[in-house]
Amino acid sequence: MTDTSSGISRRGLLRAFAATAITAAPTFSNAASFLRGAGDIRRVKMFSGRTGEKIDVIYWIEGDYISEAMTEISKFMRDWRSGLVMAIDNRTVDIIAATHALLDVNEPYNLLSGYRTPQTNAMLRESSSKVAVNSLHMRGQAADLRLSSRSVRQVVAAAASCAAGGVGKYSRSNFTHMDCGDVRTWGS
């Protein structure tokens, strides 16, 4: 049976809400190997120690992004200093979810930074030379994340294996940067 108003099959909904093993994958052509066997749903799980908020949302079902879920993700990943929201690029969310799946963890990411306003980015640049002038954070295309059960090295290796964007290793600060820009790696 299919709900003709939404185009989502009953079977698809049951899988989405009863799934115990979720596989997410980037949608980039250069990460096509992750698409094989990707399953019917993609999910992202994060918390923010800065705002106290948590998110655990299925954002993709049977080949379609769920606009309400993407809006919720964008709101969650807002610039917490200003409260301003920018749409987070679907590709960035896919990289985040694929990396999580590759690490085979249930623990949510700790989101340190998602979207940043130009003002926030400039303020951060004043105290750190590692903040890029044209940071992809200002376009909603990057996130700085941490997992307590995995080392930065492990998270970087999983994210880099997606070959779908930039991956920064910040071992001293204990976080990994992921973005949907050019494929590249950096950091120590």
Report the pLDDT value the prediction gives residue 159, as an integer from 0 to 100.
97
Report the pLDDT value the prediction gives residue 14, as an integer from 0 to 100.
36
Total domain count, the chain: 1
Helix, coil or strand: residue 166: strand
Structural contact between residues 156 and 102, judged by C-beta atoms closer than 8 angstroms: no
Burial class (CB in 10 A: 0-12, 13-18, 19+), 161: middle
Percent of the chain with pLDDT over 70: 79
Helix, coil or strand: residue 137: helix
Exposure b/e, 105-125, CB count within 10 A at least 16 = b: beebbbbbbbbbbeebbeebe
Exposure b/e, 57-75, CB count within 10 A at least 16 = b: bbbbbeeeebeebbeebbe
Place of tokens 């896919």: 94
82: domain CATH number? 3.30.1380.10
Report the pLDDT value the prediction gives residue 15, as an integer from 0 to 100.
43
Place of tokens 């954002």: 59
Report the pLDDT value the prediction gives residue 63, as an integer from 0 to 100.
87
Query: How far apart are alpha carbons 76 and 70 in whole angstroms?
Result: 10
- Kindly report, residue by residue over 34-88, the tens digit of the pLDDT: 444 556 799 999 999 999 999 999 999 988 999 999 999 999 999 999 999 999 9
**What does the pLDDT average to over 125-146?**
91
pTM (two decimals): 0.79
- Kindly report, residue by residue over 149-181, the tens digit of the pLDDT: 999 999 999 999 999 999 999 999 999 999 999
175 lies in which domain range? Answer: 2-187
